[in-house]
């Protein structure tokens, strides 16, 4: 209902003309068929109550049955609209945590739809007719790709680390370098996860320098394992020292302790082969002597949200048997998606084409520039004269805590306005489009980084609604 203008009117007469609930119901057949008597009735009563308040305040408005029915229809439809919406990510952050991180490949989407529509053999062994194990659907693939004896999966990497530590180090101590006490965000701090797991953190070394002797001096009969945490979302530079994985693995073996590596983001291939900065490969941690490694599925891997735990069979068996595993397990839809994503890594030469995350990360900047030059005039035509659209070189980032000090050259659309308020209004209007567009305001410009824009047609077509939204 549009907010009407205030007028000097005969309040009594207007309120008398406000139709009854029954009168509106009689004209609401289509609404009743779609939403049912109870819900439509409540919506009509709410609408009439609102209009009655306007009338009491001597504000003139349309009190016809037709206008009331249409207003109720609009509000009911809006209430049914899903709050979880697809968006166009033009922020310049490829793996944007707030936007759901990795976009799944079509193979994974098809697999999710298939298992969602029917019962599945989630925990059923079709060969024997007996009970099966959820991990069976992905364990062999993980072991094949990483080179481990066993693997299990949970709902995210925080859960993976929690489960590992609770299983292997409850009521015991773990030495960790002060330089590796990572905070990822969203209340994920390594010290807090360790505390919740039931183990005791023993800080060793300093923020910038930790030596092997620091670990050696911290080991005692209460020590359960050694752990190295990949500082994926920050870098310590300058006068620094850290103990590498082979050294720490050798010390752990010497002391008869498991060696756990938390990679956080985690990837299965060498990114440098694609012209991207180096990021530790999960398999390398195993080669360097890690007994257990944990990492995310929805970051550099490019899959669904999950946490992957891989390593020695005896340790994985213990982790899998922890009662907490049931609370953290994956559903059939996530397992189906993860399986299809992992299969793509059997053919790494095709990843840049078939896996959206790799496609976005490896897009040639010249192609993105061509896209920007194509879109700029089309967007300018759909904006009021107060706005100016130009193309601009920019820098994308990987996101989700991966390679934080490395940027990727990109190209985008830079929009300026005659005032900051107009720029904020445009940013708001983009987010109100049928498929919301999310950019970033920086240096008095609304920047739309095109690295993650797969196609232009939807962007151009719906941008025609911007003038209307800005006029509201």
Provide the mean pLDDT of the chain.
Answer: 91
6-15, 227-236, 259-268 — which is least confidently predicted?
Answer: 6-15
Contacts of 339 (CB under 8 A, 6+ apart): 111, 137, 138, 141
The answer to whether 60 touches 4, Cβ cutoff 8 Å, is: yes
Task: Tell me the mean pLDDT in the region 36-41.
Answer: 94
Long-range CB contact pairs, 37-40, < 8 A, 24+: 39/76, 40/72, 40/76
Task: Tell me the mean pLDDT in the region 220-238.
Answer: 86
Task: Tell me the mean pLDDT in the region 296-321.
Answer: 96
Contacts of 337 (CB under 8 A, 6+ apart): 104, 108, 109, 111, 112, 303, 304
Domain ranges of the chain: 11-80, 88-96+360-471, 106-354
Task: Answer yes or no: is pLDDT of 9 > 50.
Answer: no
Task: Tell me the mean pLDDT in the region 105-126.
Answer: 97
The Cα 193–Cα 196 span in angstroms is 5
**343 vs 155, 263, 308, 334, 356, CA distance in Å?**
20, 21, 15, 14, 14
Mean pLDDT comparison of 4-18, 24-38, 259-273, highest-scoring range: 24-38
pLDDT band at 8 (very low <50, low <70, confident <90, very high): very low
Task: Tell me the mean pLDDT in the region 448-461.
Answer: 93
The Cα 308–Cα 113 span in angstroms is 23
Per CATH, 88-96+360-471 and 106-354 having the same topology is answered no
pTM greater than 0.85: yes
Residue 307 or residue 187, greater confidence: 307
Task: Answer yes or no: is pLDDT of 189 > 90.
Answer: no
Task: Tell me the mean pLDDT in the region 77-100.
Answer: 92
User: What is the predicted pLDDT for the residue at 187?
Assistant: 65
pLDDT band at 126 (very low <50, low <70, confident <90, very high): very high
Task: Answer yes or no: is pLDDT of 5 > 90.
Answer: no
Task: Tell me the mean pLDDT in the region 261-281.
Answer: 86
pLDDT band at 7 (very low <50, low <70, confident <90, very high): very low
The Cα 157–Cα 177 span in angstroms is 20
The Cα 291–Cα 280 span in angstroms is 16
> What tens digit of pLDDT does each residue of 327-360 get?
999 999 999 999 999 999 999 999 999 999 999 9
pLDDT band at 60 (very low <50, low <70, confident <90, very high): confident
The Cα 61–Cα 395 span in angstroms is 51
CATH fit for domain 106-354, picks 2.30.110.10, 3.40.50.300, 3.40.640.10, 3.30.70.1710: 3.40.640.10
**431 vs 97, 281, 357, 434, CA distance in Å?**
17, 37, 23, 8
User: What is the predicted pLDDT for the residue at 253?
Assistant: 97
Pairing of the two strands 440-442 and 445-449: antiparallel
192-196, 263-267, 400-404, 450-454 — which is least confidently predicted?
Answer: 400-404
The Cα 181–Cα 6 span in angstroms is 61
Task: Answer yes or no: is pLDDT of 178 > 60.
Answer: yes
Q: 3-state SS of the chain?
A: CCCCCECCCCHHHHHHCCCCHHHHHHCCHHHHHHHCHHHHHHHHHHHHHHHHHHHHCCECCCCCHHHHHHHHHHHHHHHHCCCCCCCEECCCECCCHHHCCCCCCHHHHHHHHHHHHCCCCCCECCCCCCECCHHHHCHHHHHHHHCCCEEEEECCHHHHHHHHHHHHHCCCEEEEEHHHCCEEECCEEHHHHHHHHCCEEEEECCCCECCHHHHHHHCCCCECCEEEECCCCCCCCCCCECCCHHHHHHHHHHHCCCEEEEEECCECCCHHHHCCCCCCEHHHHHHCCCCEEEEECCCCCCCCCCEEEEECHHHHHHHHCCCHHHHHCCCHHHHHHHHHHHHHCCCHHHHHHHCHHHHHHHCCHHHHHHHHHHHHHHHHHCCCCCEEEEEEEEEEEEECCEEEEEEEEEEEEEEEECCHHHHHHHHHHHHCCCCCEECEEECCEEEEECCCCCCCHHHHHHHCCHHHHHHC
Task: Answer yes or no: is pLDDT of 309 > 70.
Answer: yes
User: What is the predicted pLDDT for the residue at 95?
Assistant: 93
Of 311, 408, 310, residue with least CA distance to 359: 408
User: What is the predicted pLDDT for the residue at 238?
Assistant: 77
Task: Answer yes or no: is pLDDT of 299 > 60.
Answer: yes
User: What is the predicted pLDDT for the residue at 240?
Assistant: 80
User: What is the predicted pLDDT for the residue at 12?
Assistant: 52
User: What is the predicted pLDDT for the residue at 1?
Assistant: 47
> What tens digit of pLDDT does each residue of 195-211 get?
999 999 999 999 889 99
What's the CATH code, domain 88-96+360-471? 3.90.1150.180
């Amino acid at each position: 209902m549009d907010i009407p203008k205030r007028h000097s009117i005969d309040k009594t007469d207007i309120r008398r003309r406000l139709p009854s609930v029954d009168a509106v119901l009689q004209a609401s057949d289509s609404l009743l068929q779609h939403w049912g008597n109870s819900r439509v009735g409540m919506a009509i009563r709410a609408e009439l109550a609102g209009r009655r308040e306007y009338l009491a305040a001597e504000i003139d408005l349309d009190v016809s049955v037709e206008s009331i029915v249409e207003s109720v229809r609009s509000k009911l439809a809006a209430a049914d609209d899903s709050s979880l919406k697809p968006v166009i990510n033009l922020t310049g952050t490829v793996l944007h945590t707030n936007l759901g991180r990795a976009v799944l490949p079509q193979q994974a989407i098809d697999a999710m739809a298939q298992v969602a529509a029917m019962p599945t053999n989630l925990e059923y062994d079709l060969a024997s007719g007996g009970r099966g194990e959820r991990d069976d659907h992905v364990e062999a693939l993980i072991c094949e790709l990483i080179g481990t004896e066993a693997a299990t999966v949970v709902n995210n990497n925080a859960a993976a680390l929690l489960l590992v530590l609770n299983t292997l180090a409850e009521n015991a101590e773990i030495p960790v370098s002060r330089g590796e006490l990572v905070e990822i965000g969203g209340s994920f701090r390594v010290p807090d996860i360790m505390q919740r797991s039931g183990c005791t953190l023993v800080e060793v070394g300093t923020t910038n320098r930790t030596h092997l002797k620091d670990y050696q001096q911290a080991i005692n009969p209460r020590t359960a394992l050694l752990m190295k945490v990949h500082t994926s979302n920050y870098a310590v530079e300058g006068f620094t020292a850290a103990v590498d994985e082979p050294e720490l693995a050798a010390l752990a073996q010497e002391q008869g302790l498991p060696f756990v590596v938390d990679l956080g983001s985690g990837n299965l291939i060498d990114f440098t082969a694609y012209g991207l900065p180096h990021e530790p490969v999960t398999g390398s941690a195993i080669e360097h002597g890690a007994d257990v490694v944990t990492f995310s599925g929805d970051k550099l891997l490019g899959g669904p949200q999950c946490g992957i735990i891989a390593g020695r069979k005896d340790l994985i068996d213990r982790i899998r048997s922890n009662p907490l595993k049931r609370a953290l397990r994956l559903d059939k839809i996530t397992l189906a998606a993860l399986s299809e994503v992992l299969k793509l890594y059997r053919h790494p030469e095709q990843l840049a084409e078939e896996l959206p995350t790799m496609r976005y990360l490896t897009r040639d900047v010249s192609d993105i520039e061509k896209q920007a030059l194509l879109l700029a005039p089309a967007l300018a035509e759909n904006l009021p004269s107060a706005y100016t659209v130009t193309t601009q070189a920019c820098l994308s980032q990987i996101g989700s805590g991966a390679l934080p000090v490395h940027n990727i050259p990109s190209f985008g659309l830079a929009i300026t306005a005659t005032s900051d308020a107009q720029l904020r209004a445009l940013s708001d209007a983009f987010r109100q489009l049928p498929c919301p567009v999310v950019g970033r305001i920086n240096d008095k410009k609304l920047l739309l980084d095109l690295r993650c824009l797969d196609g232009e047609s939807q962007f151009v077509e719906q941008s025609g609604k911007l003038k209307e939204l800005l006029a509201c």
